[in-house]
Amino acid sequence: MKLSCQEGLVPGSSFAEKLKNLEQYGFDGVELQGGQLSNPEGFQERKAALADSPVKASSICGGNGAEIVHPDKTRRQKCADALKQQLEYAAELGAVGTITVPIFNSNDRVPDLSPWKTRAEIEQELLLSMLRQLVPHAEQLGVAILLEPLNRYESNSLPQQKDGAKIVRELDSKGVRLMSDVFHMNIEEPNLAQSIRDCGDTIGHVHLADSTRKEPGSGSIYYRAVFAALKEIGFDGYMAFECGLTGPAEEVLPRSVAYLRECMTNLKSTPDEA
């Protein structure tokens, strides 16, 4: 298992300086901002800096609109086109893939057409249809769309890990994987470790934040059990910080990395386990 961090959390006047700080803090990877990559200069800056750094691109987050199941066809297609471009960025930069959610909660959603079909059923069928158009491109490039379930307060489209895993399993392709965010799981899952075990065959990337939505170690999530479950399923990919920080990054990030490294070397399934 490898630790990564979103580039926006890291101090530095340039992307190269951010990578040096990440290396110093103990990270293995960096999660790239999708919006920065859409600028040719931003893409080239990141490509050049990554070529000279032991810190590798883990993933891409943001910048694709997150409207793959929007009721407006034009907006759906715009999101799909952005994802397709980001998959190409991921392949060129050596990242696992790009993260997306079906859609955020808003009034601008497909209607509930019960008793024919509920909103959730319509959105999931539409999601499958849209992803089937993108999966061959991802497969050809050797990267993946990383599908992220969010908690009910942000999106009720795929609230639990099992909902995202169902989509991934139905598509049956390495071109789409589950993105497991520990913060959202802490809200929606009765047992984080068991959810990881149940969906282990589909997980391709992980986001890290504590119950506070700040850095790991600042709240109540029992990371020893999370890592024990990830080890049990054979996960050896990246886990990226996506969180706020309780203090200055240069103090908080290395402290949190040290905490997580210790959790990874002292795995326990429950807090009471000897």
State pLDDT tens for residues 241-255: 999 999 999 999 999
For β-strands 2-6 and 56-61, DSSP reports them as unpaired
Q: Which two tokens stand for residue 233?
A: 């399923």
CB 68 within 8 A of CB 76: yes
Rounded to an integer, the average pLDDT of 62-89 is 95
Mean pLDDT of the chain: 95
Rounded to an integer, the average pLDDT of 128-132 is 97
pLDDT above 60: residue 134: yes
Rounded to an integer, the average pLDDT of 227-237 is 96
pLDDT at position 266 is: 86
CB 221 within 8 A of CB 191: no
Give which of 75, 261, 62, 85 is closest to 179, Cα–Cα. 62
Q: Which two tokens stand for residue 131?
A: 């992803």
CB 71 within 8 A of CB 110: yes
- Whole-number percent of the chain with pLDDT over 70: 98
Pick the residue with more confidence: 5 or 120?
5
pLDDT at position 165 is: 97
pLDDT at position 271 is: 66
pLDDT at position 274 is: 35
The CA-CA-CA angle for residues 210, 169, 30, to 5°, reads 40
Q: Which value, to the nearest 10 degrees, does the dihedral of the CA atoms of residues 191, 193, 195, 201 take?
A: -170
Euclidean distance between CA atoms 148 and 74, whole angstroms: 22
Give which of 93, 73, 99 is closest to 204, Cα–Cα. 99
Q: Domain limits of the chain?
A: 2-265
Q: Which two tokens stand for residue 53?
A: 């750094």
The partner residues of 178 in beta bridges, in order of sequence, read 147, 203
pLDDT above 50: residue 108: yes
pLDDT in tens, 145-194: 999 999 999 998 899 999 999 999 999 999 999 999 999 999 999 999 99
Q: Which two tokens stand for residue 234?
A: 């054979």
The class that CATH gives domain 2-265 is: alpha beta
Euclidean distance between CA atoms 58 and 28, whole angstroms: 9
Rounded to an integer, the average pLDDT of 62-91 is 96
The partner residues of 117 in beta bridges, in order of sequence, read 113
pLDDT at position 223 is: 96
Report residue 272's pLDDT band, with 50, 70 and 90 as the boundaries.
low
Helix, strand or coil for residue 67?
strand
CB 89 within 8 A of CB 37: yes
Give the global pTM: 0.94
